[in-house]
C-alpha cells in the first residue's frame, strides 16, 4: 500500500514527545535483530511467497498487441509521477520473467503472486482477445510450475485498458459487465493450471487515490466519482469471486485489501472518534460489504449516500464467501480530528512524530500487523487470512554488486514475529508474501522507492540479490 495522500497531513508542532509518551505505554512487540525465528514455527502448511504486479514490473507497454493502459496514459501527463518517470520498461519482466522466476525459486519461496494485464489480454477492454497476451501468461505460469512455484494470480492490479477509463472506468456501472467478461475469459483460460486466485488488489488505493485525490490514474478529483468507483468495485469484487467459483473447480478464491493499524493521537474523545472514522475508511469500507455487513455508514455518515447508487439486488450481490482474505500491511496511521469534510480526520505522518519510517514516510510498526490480523480474525465471515503483501522501501545502495539492507531484514524479522505472535494466539493466518521480488515502478513515486529483495539497476536492468533476499534464502531453506 502506498502512503495515503488522500488523508492530507498537517504538521502539529511540538507533539512529538506527546506521541512518544502516549505510545510507549503500550505493549509493543519487542523483537530485535537478534531474535531467532524459525520457518518451522509457522507450520508446514504455511505459504511463503513474493508478490508483484503487471504494470509495476512488465514494461513492454506496447509490445505484441498490448494496448495503452490507464497508467500508461496517466504517467505521461505532466507532473503526475516523480521525475516524469513511467513504466514503459519497468523491470522488463516481460522479457526477463524466466530469470526472475529462477531467482524467486533460488530464494526458496514456494509461491509467486503476480497480476494479469487487462490491456495485454483484451486490448479493446472487451471483445477481441490478444493471443500473444494470453500466451505470455501461459509461459509465466508454465515457468512457475516447472520451477515448483505455485502461481497465485491477481486478476486486477490497477492497469485498466485506457479505452475503458475513457468511458468512466470504475465510475461507470458498465464496469460490472466489462470486468465480468475479463474474469470469465482469464479463469477459463488459466483455470486448469492455476488454483489460487485473487480478484482485485486494494480497492481503496485505486478508488481513493485515483477518483477522489487524483494522484493515481485516472487523476480524477470527485467525491461522486469516488463513491461510484467504490460501489461498482465492491460489486465487481464479489461477482469476480462467483465467476471463479463457477469456472475453476477446486479454486482457492481470495481478494486483497489495503490495511493500516489506526490509533488516535491521544485519548481525547474527538480524536478517538476521528481514528474510528479513519479506520472505517481505510480498513472496513471494502471488507464489510464483501462480508455482507454493508458499508460502515454508522461510523462515517456520508456513506449513507451510497444507497442512491443501489439497483435492485445490489445488497445481496455485494457479498461473496471468499476462501481467504489478503491482508496488505505496511505502516501504522495516527489520526487526529480535523475539519476535512466527510471524514473529519487527518493523519499525522511518521516524520512529524520522529518515529522510524520508510522512504514514503510510513511508520515502521510491526505491532500493527499483529493488531490487524487479530482484528480481521474476529470477523465471523473470514475463513482464512494470508498476508499477501508486506515489505518496505529504504535507501538501498549498490556497492560492489551488493546491497546491505539490514533495515529491511529487521523489518521482515519483526513483521514475521508479529505474524507468529498472532498465529500462536490462534489467528487463522496461513501465508506471508513479500512485496516484492525485484525493485519496480512504485506508482506516483516512480523508481525512487525500492521494495525488492533483488536490486534492479534501471539503466542496465541488471539484477543483484540484496542481503534481505539472501536472508530469506537462508530462512526458508528446508
Which one of 62-70, 103-111, 197-205, 411-419 is the stretch in contact with ligand GCO (CB under 6 A)? 197-205
Q: Tell whether residue 205 is a contact of ligand GCO (CB under 6 A).
A: yes
Which one of 126-134, 201-209, 267-275, 372-380 is the stretch in contact with ligand GCO (CB under 6 A)? 201-209
Ranges within 399-458 binding ligand GCO (CB under 6 A): 435, 442, 451
**Cβ 7 to ligand GCO shortest distance, Å:** 15
Ranges within 323-342 binding ligand GCO (CB under 6 A): 328
Which one of 70-78, 79-87, 141-149, 200-208 is the stretch in contact with ligand GCO (CB under 6 A)? 200-208
For ligand GCO, which residue of 202, 263, 410, 439 counts as binding (CB under 6 A)?
202
Grid cell digits, residue 378 = 474476529
Residue whose C-alpha is closest to residue 355's, from 345, 365, 347: 365
Instruction: Point out the catalytic residue in the list 58, 85, 165, 202.
Output: 202
Instruction: Point out the catalytic residue in the list 347, 367, 389, 442.
Output: 389
Determine the Cα–Cα distance for residues 383 and 245; give it in Å rounded to an integer: 16
Q: Tell whether residue 363 is a contact of ligand GCO (CB under 6 A).
A: no
CA 252 to chain centre: 19
* Helices and strands of the chain, counted as H and E runs: 17, 13
Q: Cα–Cα distances in Å, from 116 out to 55, 152, 187, 243?
A: 9, 11, 11, 16
Ranges within 35-74 binding ligand GCO (CB under 6 A): 53, 56
* Residue pair 89/439 in contact by the 8 Å Cβ criterion: no
161: DSSP letter:
B
**Cβ 299 to ligand GCO shortest distance, Å:** 23
**Cβ 458 to ligand GCO shortest distance, Å:** 15
Q: Tell whether residue 233 is a contact of ligand GCO (CB under 6 A).
A: no
**Cβ 87 to ligand GCO shortest distance, Å:** 11
Helix (H) or strand (E) holding 431: strand 429-435
Which one of 198-206, 245-253, 298-306, 338-346 is the stretch in contact with ligand GCO (CB under 6 A)? 198-206
Ranges within 368-407 binding ligand GCO (CB under 6 A): 389
Per-position b or e across 417-428, b if 16+ CB within 10 A of its CB: bbbbbbbeeebe
- Report the alpha-carbon angle 154-437-47, nearest 5: 65
389 is catalytic: yes
Nearer to ligand GCO by Cβ, of 92 and 389: the residue is: 389
Neighbouring C-beta atoms of residue 467, cutoff 10 Å: 16
Phi/psi at 321 (nearest 5 deg)? -85, 85
Which SS3 state, helix, strand or coil, does residue 319 take?
A: coil
Determine the Cα–Cα distance for residues 291 and 380; give it in Å rounded to an integer: 9
The residue of the chain with the least Cβ separation from ligand GCO equals 1
Catalytic residue IDs: 202, 389
Binding residues vs ligand GCO (CB under 6 A)? 1-2, 53, 56, 201-202, 205, 258, 328, 389, 435, 442, 451
Amino acid at each position: 500500500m502506498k502512503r495515503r495522500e488522500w488523508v492530507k497531513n498537517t504538521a502539529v508542532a511540538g507533539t512529538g514527545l506527546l506521541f512518544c509518551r502516549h505510545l510507549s505505554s503500550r505493549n509493543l512487540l519487542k523483537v530485535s535483530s537478534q531474535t531467532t525465528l524459525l520457518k518451522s514455527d509457522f507450520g508446514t502448511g504455511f505459504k511463503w511467497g513474493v508478490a508483484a504486479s503487471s504494470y509495476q514490473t512488465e514494461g513492454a507497454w506496447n509490445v505484441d498487441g498490448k494496448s495503452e493502459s490507464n497508467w500508461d496514459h496517466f504517467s505521461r501527463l505532466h507532473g503526475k509521477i516523480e521525475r516524469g518517470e513511467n513504466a514503459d520498461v519497468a523491470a522488463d519482466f516481460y522479457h526477463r520473467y524466466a530469470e526472475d522466476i529462477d531467482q524467486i525459486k533460488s530464494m526458496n519461496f514456494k509461491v509467486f503472486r503476480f497480476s494479469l494485464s487487462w490491456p495485454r489480454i483484451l486490448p479493446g477492454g472487451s471483445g477481441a482477445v490478444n493471443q500473444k497476451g494470453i500466451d505470455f501468461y501461459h509461459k509465466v505460469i508454465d515457468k512457475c510450475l516447472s520451477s515448483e512455484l505455485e502461481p497465485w494470480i491477481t486478476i486486477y492490479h490497477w492497469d485498466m485498458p485506457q479505452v475503458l477509463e475513457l468511458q468512466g472506468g470504475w465510475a461507470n456501472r458498465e464496469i460490472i459487465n466489462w470486468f465480468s467478461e475479463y474474469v470469465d475469459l482469464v479463469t477459463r483460460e488459466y483455470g486448469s493450471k492455476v488454483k489460487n486466485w485473487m480478484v482485485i488488489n486494494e480497492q481503496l488505493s485505486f478508488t481513493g487515490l485515483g477518483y477522489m485525490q487524483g494522484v493515481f490514474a485516472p487523476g480524477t478529483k470527485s467525491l461522486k466519482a469516488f463513491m461510484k468507483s467504490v460501489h461498482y468495485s465492491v460489486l465487481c469484487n464479489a461477482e469476480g469471486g462467483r465467476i471463479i467459483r463457477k469456472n475453476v473447480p477446486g479454486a482457492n478464491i481470495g481478494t486483497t485489501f489495503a490495511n493500516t493499524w489506526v490509533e488516535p493521537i491521544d485519548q481525547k474523545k474527538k480524536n478517538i472518534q476521528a481514528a474510528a472514522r479513519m479506520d472505517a475508511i481505510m480498513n472496513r469500507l471494502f471488507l464489510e460489504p464483501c462480508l455482507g455487513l454493508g458499508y460502515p455508514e454508522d461510523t462515517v455518515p456520508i456513506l449513507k449516500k451510497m444507497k442512491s447508487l443501489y439497483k435492485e439486488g445490489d445488497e445481496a450481490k455485494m457479498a461473496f464467501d471468499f476462501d481467504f482474505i489478503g491482508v496488505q500491511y505496511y505502516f501504522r496511521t495516527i489520526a487526529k480530528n480535523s475539519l476535512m469534510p466527510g471524514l473529519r480526520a487527518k493523519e499525522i505522518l511518521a516524520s512529524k512524530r520522529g518515529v522510524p519510517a520508510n522512504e514514503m514516510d510510513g511508520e515502521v510498526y510491526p505491532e500493527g500487523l499483529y493488531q490487524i490480523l487479530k482484528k480481521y480474525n474476529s470477523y465471523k465471515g473470514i475463513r482464512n487470512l494470508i498476508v499477501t503483501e508486506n515489505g518496505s522501501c529504504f535507501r538501498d545502495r549498490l556497492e560492489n554488486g551488493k546491497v546491505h539492507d539490514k533495515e529491511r531484514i529487521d523489518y521482515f524479522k519483526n513483521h514475521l514475529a508479529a505474524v507468529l505472535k498472532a498465529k500462536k494466539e490462534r489467528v487463522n493466518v496461513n501465508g506471508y508474501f513479500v512485496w516484492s521480488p525485484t525493485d519496480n515502478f512504485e506508482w506516483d513515486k516512480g523508481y525512487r522507492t525500492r521494495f525488492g529483495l533483488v536490486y534492479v539497476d534501471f539503466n542496465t536492468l541488471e539484477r543483484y540479490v540484496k542481503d534481505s533476499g539472501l536472508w530469506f534464502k537462508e530462512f526458508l531453506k528446508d
